[in-house]
Structure 1
Amino acid sequence: MDHIHLFLLSLVSLISLILVMKLSMPKKRNNLPPSPPSLPIIGHLHLIKGHVHRVLQHLSSKYGPIMALRFGSRPILVITSPSAVKECFTKNDIVLANRPLLLSGKYFDYDHMGLGSVPYGRLWRDTRRVMNVELFSTTRLKTYIDFRHDEVKLIIKQLFQDCSQGFTRVEMISRIEGLPFNIILKMVGGTKVSDLKGVSEFKEVIRDVFEASGATNAGDFIPLFKWIDFKGLEKRLLKLWNKSDRFLQNLIEVCSNVEKGKEKTFVEAILSLQESEPEYYTDDVIKGNIMALLLAGTDTSSVTIEWAMSLLLNHPKVLEKARAEVDEHTGQDRLVQETDLPYLPYIQCIVNETLRLFPAAPLLVPHESSEDCTIGGFDVARGTILLVNAFAIHRDPKVWDDPLSFKPERFEKMGKEGYMFIPFGMGRRQCPGSSLANKVVGLALASFIQCFEWERVGEELVELSEGKGLTMPKDEPLVAMCKAREQMTHLLKDL
């Protein structure tokens, strides 16, 4: 019996090997993009060691701004120039409107039902419309402004309690990582969902999902590795999914039973659609989109705040200039508010420069071509995965002056950055929550600058190396010295 099992396993392996080799053989085309030498079966996967965005940046410096790779059986196109990005998301925007179906989307987008990975079509259009109306429209963002103020004030209050007696050593990411999560959770389900059981555990799940999704999964590109669950990733994702599914199902049930307020939450809005089309707006569709919102909006904003504070500590003159702007506009008789942000342009310059140097999605979200097309004169086959290396474009000396330096002032002189500054993506599938993200990050930074004095722990500069994870977190969490400003203690005591 064991011999039969061994024979069948060998036969399956041989058939899969032949299929992979057949699929990985590129069709003859007239003009293919330049490409590094590849290996049989795995293609260029052996080159992906360390941070993917940096590896691809290095390869593109050798092979050009439009570069072809092959990850197992999947063709990959890597873009590192603004002109090519423009062509992708204008001329080829509909052709590139799909997402590749990856293992992480199978679980956390509920078999690709969430806005982030759902195929381009009616469900994507309908969900996007609901999100734009119920979450991200100017009117709705104004409705939720108290949520954002309350969460920022809570962090300010906690910092004041710890740092009111003088400079105190504080670790930042643990204080700010819950800020965007709490805001989005309230926007999605209302204030009462913050009291749900399992919120803390669910936050841990979100963090683990980002870490698990940050690595290249060979099973997404080599079918045999998927069948044998290479490195046990699918087993790990399934375990995380079970935890998150229980929480999300509970959230939907709570929202279904809560007395409706004057303004619909996102869950209430999509539940009302479920009543009219229950087979279309299933619970999985709702849970997939809640998960997509929390994944896209939480870690990205907190990581950006941590990078910004790290850069400000390394550039105290920039910090002083930002504080002078806040003091001049708001004074010291009230706390800065979100409505002040349009009058604090230098704060926005700091946010933009942080996103330029450390975009939370360094390779954006992958796209996939639904049919053959041409980009930059090169032939691109249907089913090709498009990776736009925003990290490389943002640091390209041909595009930016002194690109590796932190200079917020560069954004004072710029108008529309267009396709050279793309932290939120471009085209019809760009991030719909960019305005919310800018408000959350801007308000948090302005509040930290107004209420506290900040110094590095020692004379050494804050380390700016990237760590592991989908959103490019810091390798070493930021630790800083913090002290409440004397001019602000009368307001901070009242919190």
Structure 2
Amino acid sequence: MDMAMPMEIGLLSSYGFTAIFCIAIVLLYTTLTKHREKNLPPEAAGGRPLIGHLSLLSGPELPHAVLSDMADKYGAVFTIRLGAKRGLIISSWEAAKECLTTNDVVFGNRPKTSAIQHMSYNFAMFGFSGYGAYWRELRKISVLNLLSNHKVAQLGNDLLEHELKSMMRSLNSEGKAEMKKYFGDLTLNLMARIVAGDVGSDKEVVEGDKWRKAIKEFFRMMDVLTMADVLPFLKWFENTKEFERTGGELDGVLQAWLDEHKKRNRLEESGSFMGEMIGSAEKVARAFEGYDADTINKATCQVLMLGGTYTISATLTWTLCLLLNNRDVLTKALEELDTHVGRARRVQSSDLSNLVYIRAIIKETLRLYPPAPILPPRESVANCTVAGYHIPAGTRLMINAWKLHRDPRIWSDPLKFEPERFLTDHKEIDFKGGVNFELVPFGGGRRVCPGISFSLQVVELTIASLLQGFDIETLSDECVDMRGSFGSTNMKATPLEVVLKPRLPTTLYG
């Protein structure tokens, strides 16, 4: 977790800073002792004055690993200090279920950070907005207009297969590739085409790779915390220029796309989410004060692009890594493809229902390497009870999916990559966040990821296409490095370089 300290703090006189420091200690002490008489969860040791445990989550060990070690010591429900805020760390499915069902509305809000405020149109992005009527309306529109089963089926037959065909042709011509980059480009291209249609690929509207760079920079900055996020009384001294610059660059791309949609004829069936959103955004703007229609449209498109791009790319990368490190599983996947699809044609969306082993592989990947090892945090709006403990209002909920998915009470040999478990003992476990909480890679409750069906469609068809099309080997014939990197999305830390040999007739790569 990055820390950005505002430059303005250095301009304070030593006397002024000392006074502020003393006030901070008093305020922090008052906040943290207010509920002392209540039955609070155990608090982890090792917190520092003012910043609490943030230093322990800043490296070198990854935050989910640090919190997993703490859970071994303090139990499945404990707290840490995040500056002036408490963080409730959950590592068991029972406590996660309680938070995401019984207390789902209580934990309905997202924490408000400076990065999100200044890069998401002052919380107009429904993924980061507070729980309420505005959030419900935009989520409903997004699900119906883009993420419904009907839309997912359309995407599988059109845009996704178009992008996959392009990727397969390129891989066949090169024979060697860095797959993390290929998966990233695939998902970026796909999300841009879904959101903006042909406008998103029109270089006259957005020159070169400007939109790619803007999205990557947005992701980098999204995880940055300022001292004001940690200690709110320092808000007056905060420097937000980098956030505003990053948000402005992505806004410039989105505005160019939106202007082009309006210019072409907004009443036409555009085939893109942004075009379809024009009328809906105007209705929302009339119903809710605070944001104009263009801002609502751009913010909604922004959250869909960001939510789908890196999570899908990370899952694709980890799936291939695990297959290369477990050749017996890879062999079984190839046998399934040869049996149900063959090599005379390319695998299609309609084949996926027969590829049950590949689906189990992806489930097992999501168990071991969830795209967000710590689910996106929530914040309680009222006092509540979790696992018998009193949880004060304003507590930040952090569910450690990484630890929860490795619970030996649920998963036999939990560190082993074993897709067969989802064809036998755990065949009925679903990860859509409403019934089973032993597996929560997409979260749960009202804030569950709305794009589960879409994400699975992309991952399943991409992996099936890649495995059907190529025999894949690592460059050095050694095990793939499985180290992750810092950030809200669990990306592989190092490149994934492979050698590919075609398995299909040459005509199927054209």
TM-score (structure 2 length as normaliser): 0.89
Task: Report the secondary structure of 1:386's partner residue.
Answer: strand
Partners of 1:299 and 1:240 lie apart in 2 by 17
1:223 Cα deviation from its structure 2 partner:
2.8
| Residue of structure 2 equivalent to 1:84 | 95
* Counterpart residue type for residue 223 of structure 1: P
Task: Give runs of aligned pairs for residues 234-273 of structure 1, distance below 5 A.
Answer: 234-259=240-265, 260-262=267-269, 265-273=272-280
Q: Verify: 1:221 aligned to 2:234, yes or no.
A: no
Q: Distance in 1 between matches of 2:149 and 2:18?
A: 59
Q: Which residue of 1 aligns with 2:459?
A: 441
For 1:56-135, list aligned pairs within 5 A.
56-135=67-146
1:152 aligns with 2:169: no
User: Deviations along 1:391-446, whole A, 9 cap, x unmatched?
Assistant: 11112222211111111111111212411110000101100001111111111100
Q: CA deviation at 1:215?
A: 5.5
Q: CA contact under 8 A between 2:373 and 2:490: conserved in structure 1?
A: yes
The whole-number CA distance in structure 2 between the counterparts of 1:88 and 1:61 is 20
Query: Whole-Å Cα distance in 2 between the matches of residues 253 and 445 of structure 1?
Result: 36
2:429 equivalent among 402, 405, 416: 416
The whole-number CA distance in structure 2 between the counterparts of 1:61 and 1:251 is 49
Match of 1:161 among 173, 177, 196: 173
Residue in structure 2 matched with residue 331 of structure 1 by the alignment: 342
How far is 1:488 from its partner?
2.9
**Local SS of the residue matching 2:81:** strand
Compute the displacement of 1:344 (Å): 0.4
Structure 1 counterpart of 2:278, which letter? Answer: L
The partner residue of 1:36 within 44, 66, 72 is: 44
Find the counterpart in structure 2 of residue 464 from structure 1: 482
Unaligned stretches of 5+ residues in structure 2: 1-10, 431-435
Matches of 1:118 and 1:382 in 2, distance apart? Answer: 18
Q: Is the 8 A contact 2:119 2:244 kept in 1?
A: no
Paired amino acid for 2:170? Q
Q: 1:288 to 1:29 in 2, by over 3 A?
A: farther
- CA-atom RMSD in angstroms: 2.2
1:309: which partner in 2?
320
Structure 2 letter corresponding to 1:490: T
8 Å CA contact 1:79–1:388 kept in 2: the answer is: yes
Shift of 1:257: 2.2
CA distance in 1, matches of 2:367, 2:167: 26
Structure 1 distance, partners of 2:235, 2:441, is 31
Normalising by the residue count of structure 1, what TM-score does the alignment of the two structures yield? Answer: 0.92
* 1:488 corresponds to: 505
**In structure 2, do the counterparts of structure 1 residues 135 and 4 end up closer, same or farther at CA, with 3 Å as the change threshold?**
closer
SS of residue in 2 equivalent to 1:67: strand
SS in 2 for 1:455: strand
Change (3 A) 1:293 1:16: same
The answer as to whether partners of 1:297 and 1:433 remain within 8 angstroms in 2 is yes
Query: What residue number does 1:430 align with?
Result: 448
Deviation at 1:218, TM superposition (A): 4.6
Taking the aligned partners of 2:12 and 2:93, their CA distance within structure 1 comes to 56
Aligned residues of 2:120 and 2:247 also touching (Cα < 8 A):
no
How many residues get paired? 482
User: Structure 1 residues 4, 189: closer, same or farther in 2, change over 3 A?
Assistant: closer
Displacement of 1:18 in angstroms is 3.8
Distance 2:468 2:489 in 1: 27
- Provide Cα deviations, 1:294-318, integer angstroms capped at 9, x if missing partner: 1110011111111111111111121
> Once structures 1 and 2 are overlaid, which stretch shifts more, 286-295 or 261-270?
261-270
2:357 to 343, 346, 368: 346
What residue identity is the alignment partner of 1:162? E
Query: Post-superposition shift, 1:240?
Result: 1.3
Q: Structure 2: which amino acid aligns with 1:58? A: D
Asked if the contact 1:134–1:266 (Cα under 8 Å) also holds between the matched residues in 2, the reply is yes
CA distance in structure 2 between the partners assigned to 1:138 and 1:471 by the alignment? 25
* Secondary structure at 2:481 match in 1: coil
Moved more, 55-64 or 28-37: 28-37
Match of 1:166 in 2: none
Q: Deviations over 1:241-269 (max 9, x none)?
A: 12111111112211222334446632233
Moved more, 315-324 or 385-394: 315-324
Distance of aligned partners of 1:225 and 1:311 in 2 relative to their CA distance in 1, 3 Å threshold: farther
The answer to whether the Cα contact below 8 Å between 1:21 and 1:41 also exists between their aligned partners in 2 is: no
Distance in 2 between the 1:443 and 1:420 partners? Answer: 25
1:177-229 deviation per Cα after TM superposition (whole angstroms, max 9, x unaligned): 12222222222222232213146122122222323334665542223665544
1:288-307 alignment, distance < 5 Å: 288-307=299-318
Tell me the distance in 1 between the aligned counterparts of 2:96 and 2:313. 27
* Counterpart residue number, 1:51: 62
Q: Residues 26 and 59 (structure 1 numbering): CA distance in 2 closer, same or farther, change over 3 Å? A: farther
Q: Structure 1 residues 197 and 35 mapped into 2: Cα distance closer, same or farther (>3 Å)?
A: same
Structure 1 residue runs without a partner (length 5+): 164-168
CA contact (8 A) 1:31 1:378 kept: yes
- Matches of 2:12 and 2:138, distance apart in 1: 50
Identity %: 33
Matched residue, 2:195: 188
Distance 2:327 2:284 in 1: 56
- Determine if contact 2:115/2:224 at 8 Å carries over to the other structure: no
Deviation at 1:14, TM superposition (A): 4.6
**Alpha-carbon distance in 2 for matches of 1:335, 1:470:** 35
Preserved CA contact (<8 Å) 1:78 1:388: yes
Go from structure 1 to structure 2 and tell me whether the alpha carbon gap of 1:199 and 1:114 turns closer, same or farther (over 3 Å shift): farther
Which residue number corresponds to residue 392 of structure 1?
Answer: 403
CA pair 4-44 structure 1, distance change in 2 beyond 3 A: closer
Check the 8 A contact 2:119/2:248 in 1, yes or no.
no
Aligned counterpart, 1:23: 31
Tell me which residue corresponds to 1:402. Answer: 413
Letter in 1 for 2:183: I
Letter in 2 for 1:416: I
Structure 2 Cα separation of the partners of residues 199 and 137 of structure 1: 32
